[in-house]
Amino acid sequence: MEKEGSRPCGRRGRRGGSLAFQREVWQEMEFEKVGPQVDFPALEREVLGYWEEIGAFRKSVERRPVEKPFVFYEGPPTANGRPGFHHVPARTLKDLIPRYKTMRGYRVERKGGWDCHGLPVELEVEKELGLSGKKDVERYGIEEFNRLCRRSVFRYVDDWRRMSDRMGFWVDMENAYRTLDNTYIESVWWALKTLHERGLLYEDYKVAPHCPRDQTSLSSHEVAQGYKDVVDPSVYVRLPLRDEEGTSLLVWTTTPWTLVSNAAVAAHPEVEYALAERGGERLVLAAELLDRVLGEGSYRVVSTFQGRELEGRKYRRPFDYVPVEETENLWTVVLGDYVTTREGTGLVHTAPAYGEDDARTGRAYGLPTIHPVRPDGTFDERVGPFAGRFVKDADKGLVKELEERGLLFKAEEHEHAYPHCWRCGTPLLYYAKRAWYARTTAVLDELLRENEGINWVPEHIKWGRFGDWLRNNVDWALSRERYWGTPLPIWRTESGRVVVVGSREELEKLAVDPLPDDLHRPYIDRVRIRHPETGELARRIPEVLDVWFDSGSMPFAQWGYPRSGREHFRRQFPADFICEGVDQTRGWFYSLLAVSTMLFGKSSYKTCMALGIILDAEGRKMSKSLGNVIDPWSLFEKQGADALRWALCTASSPVNTRRFSEEQVDEAVRKYLLTLWNTYSFFVTYARIDGFDPERDRVPLEQRGLMDRWVLSELHATIRTVTERLDAYDVTTAGRAIQDFVDELSNWYVRRSRRRFWKGEEDTDKRAAHSTLYECLTTVIRLTAPFTPFVAEAIYRNLERGRAGAPESVHLADWPEYREELVDEGLLERMEAARRVVALGRAARNAAAIKTRQPLREVVVVADERLRGNLEGLEEIVLEELNVKELRFGGREDVLRYALKPNLSAVGPRYGRLVPGLRRALEEVSEEEARRAASGEPVTVEVEGKKVTLQPEELLVESGPREGYAVESEAGLSVALRTRLDPELVDEGLVRELVHKVQNLRREKGFEIEESISVSLSAGGRLRELLEGPWGEYFKGEVLARELDLDGGGEDALAVDGEEVRVSLRRP
């Protein structure tokens, strides 16, 4: 669309009277003046002040009915770290959908929340205090340590508030839930007691993922978040059979340190094993792995047998550092169906202390748990020279000892994914210990059932990333041997009896000691109770709860349920919508589902949007070390939050892994926001000039013209698309549909209708144009409001605020109503045909390097009957847009010429030496023959006195524009412009070029769009002749000149068709 001021409005004589009188009238107009230049960040700051002034967010909730809720859960961030760019995408979507649903009439209460507990907080405080590990914390003092943890969790709350406000994220932070509050803790206690009563909470001694740095267990979903590729030793070890000298079992491991605790070797009962002789020794391993492990041709197979035949064979342990009382099955071959032959030797070294499969096998065979590793991951004093060393650091020394003792067969390096602590980055150990578990496996069928009912966006997450992992569910390790967290409400007597307490009130009845105000450690640790049945004294176990259970309890705990908030919980459960990054599939998404299914038998959310990972422009992860992290504040203050939100939603789908760059934000400003703003500015400019009132001057639909009916059809088709796609949580397609419409509104409707706004007379046609553009703009700002809330508000305040029935904010307004009767599909198809012709015509003009202002004589359209019929009645639009005098329909032969060549791969083998003659003969065929060949007919030529008929497959047909035409084609449509210029066309092009240059000069000089001017210019030759003749009035009308002096010259020099023209513009 041409920007405001590109063409003055022919205002003379419209109202009569002086310019002073006209300006006085304009000052009374309702719309405030709007310029094409806009500072979006400044505009957004102004809108933020307005929202605060009117209480917009509060009203957006309160004005919607309680009985029509749309429930949204805010995933609680931890405020002991500053918010960054990686938080912006989710907060954009978590604002967009609730705004949309609010406009659809739903009450969307958006309660904020803070995740206050857990290792992230503890590690930050440890770092600040210079502490390293649990011993340091306990020496420092749990009470003071937890006091600092409590203080640190709200350190950056103001930063979170500022960023949320600045990006337009509406959420209730004044009444946010906090996982550290006693009311929240009590709700979690109730949940744990309920699980215990249902047999879903239990204690067990088993192998669990363990962080040696933080000295605590991790749950399986935490482990899933911390895998890293590492290089570990890969060792093949001989374990000599006791009853067969010179024969060894060959085992493989990537954790040599666990060989200290070896208790057995596992074989698969159904796998075929071999006794192989190599270099004077005999080795036992899986038959199918012989070549891979021993080397092809380097061994002789002595015998083969099934794995079950190995059961009970005794061998010598690899290390005897740890004294163990020998039992029946200790250091023997045992059977396990988990053994595979995908890697290793098919014989698995088994240490029940350090592997889940190992522990199960150990229980089945009564094996002891040989456990010389301390909680900090170091060997204890029993492991001789390795005592006090971190186990993985001891690998090299242990391998060397194996080599010295002749037990090492070979050592290599092995790259594989290994789990690390998701918070501190330490390699995890699988470690036998006592812990408390939630029996999630008992509700696995229910979890799978509920997952099937969840609307996952994108859909593939359901049975992909989330579902695959869910099927392999293991019981949830809940207890953490840490300090800052929800204390497990479990008290134990000396005889081992357990009491699980469900509330403060219940605790008070059982307590021997006074209850503290703060339910955290160490205060709660001092409270002893009496067992309600035996009267025994009981003390609380020291562990705290996995922080993921905290956040997974927010649907009920945020209300203090069940002791309070029952009605709130009833109305706000389950959530209709949650949204976080895809990394939360095994974090918050899982904990929400697991907790809710165990307690209530159903999922706590209906739709889950999982956002993809954002990479930098080169496809790399954003990290401080790479220096490629984007600062959201720089974008807010340079391009604005609306531009960033728009780019995040429309540049590519937010649910995909995608590249992101600042250029995408620039593009959002350039291609969308400025196009919308310029269209709005254009409307306001002419509405003010004409005193247009949307109610008084509204023209009924049946009195509006073709362009109005077309754009309203497009508008309502867009309403339909946007509504359907947002209902499906497809924000990208919805946003792009809005952008496409704004482009059509600006670059087709306004472009085609601008003379209706410019003309001096007040008539129905002009008022229809005003009415239509007003309706389009007021609808678009509602459609875009969830995406770009600031610019939508700014435009709304000027166009609608204060009108009868209009709420004070666009975000309090209703969503546009789709009216099917306004969508004329036939008209849409016809206009699309015209626009296709225009687009190809412009491309042809560009290819011929002819300026748009230079008129041409003819455009030829080659199309099928349907498209020709669609263009009927729209020819004038095509002619005006292409600046062409005449339009005619024709055939391809009218605009294209064909050249024929032999297809050498087909004719070469057949005609041999005749090929050069064929080439010459084809160059001389008539146009008619060439056209027939292009339509698939054979061609007959004469070569060396012989008639040769070439079939279509033996011919190459090349096409090009006929001389004097520029042609562009696409999908069965060809458009040709006649490029030859006659003198009349040259003259008109010359004047149009001058008009264009003077229009630009008007803008530079600061003349108002409606202001008349006097023009003095010095022009010689043909240009002067034209202006002295009939083109003079045309020129004056276009530039709104009352006077034209051709002898005056001026201070400004314009280049017109290579000649200098001196021009002076002044007020009359």
Residues with catalytic function: 76, 115, 548, 584, 588, 621, 624
Copy the structure tokens of residue 280: 């004077």
Cα 811 to Cα 47, 107, 168, 788, distances in angstroms: 12, 13, 12, 11
Are 105 and 451 in contact by the 8 Å Cβ rule? The answer is no
Query: Binding site annotation covers 885?
Result: no
Tokens of 439: 């029996």
The residues, ordered by sequence, that sit 6+ positions from 552 with a Cβ below 8 Å of its Cβ are 588, 590, 591, 592, 593, 594, 595, 596
Interacting residues of 699 by C-beta distance below 8 A, sequence separation 6+: 764, 767, 768, 771
Q: Which two tokens stand for residue 690?
A: 């004409």
DSSP state of 620: P
First vs last C-alpha separation in the chain: 30
Residues 6+ apart with CB under 8 A from 151: none
Q: Where are the alpha helices (DSSP H) in 208-355?
A: 220-223, 290-294
The answer to whether the CB of 154 falls within 8 A of the CB of 148 is no
Angle, alpha carbons 648-652-657 (nearest 5°): 90
DSSP 365-402: HT------B-TTSBB-GGGGGGTTSBGGGGHHHHHHHH
882 neighbors 842 (Cβ within 8 angstroms)? yes
Which pair of structure tokens corresponds to residue 449? 């059932």
Q: Among 792, 813, 829, which residue's Cα sits nearest to residue 713?
A: 829
Residue pointed to by tokens 């007919």: 937
Coarse DSSP helix, strand, coil percentages of the chain, rounded to the nearest 5 percent = 45, 20, 35
**CA 963, CA 379: separation in Å to the nearest integer?**
90
Buried b (16+ CB within 10 A) or exposed e, 87-116: bbbbbbbbbbbbbbbbbbebbbbbbbbbbb
Q: Are the beta carbons of 337 and 256 closer than 8 angstroms?
A: no
What tokens does 34 get?
């709007």
User: Beta-carbon neighbour count of residue 369 at 10 Å?
Assistant: 18
Angle at 281 between CA 276 and CA 286, to 5 degrees: 30
Q: What are phi and psi of 210, to 5 degrees?
A: -135, 130
Asked if residues 648 and 622 have their Cβ atoms less than 8 Å apart, the reply is no
CA–CA dist 230, 335 (Å, integer)? 30
Cβ(792)–Cβ(782) below 8 Å? yes
- String of DSSP letters for 551-575: HHTHHHHTTTTTTS-HHHHHHT-SB
Indicate the SS3 state at residue 32.
Answer: coil
Instruction: Classify the phi-psi angles of 1043: left when phi > 0, otherwise alpha if psi is within -120 to 50, otherwise beta.
Output: beta
The rounded distance, in Å, linking the Cα atoms of 778 and 816 is 9
The answer to whether the CB of 143 falls within 8 A of the CB of 518 is: no
Distance CA 501, CA 196 (A): 10
Closest CA to 745 of 778, 699, 793, 700: 778
Annotated binding-site ranges = 624
Please report, in range form, the residues annotated as the binding site for ATP. Answer: 624
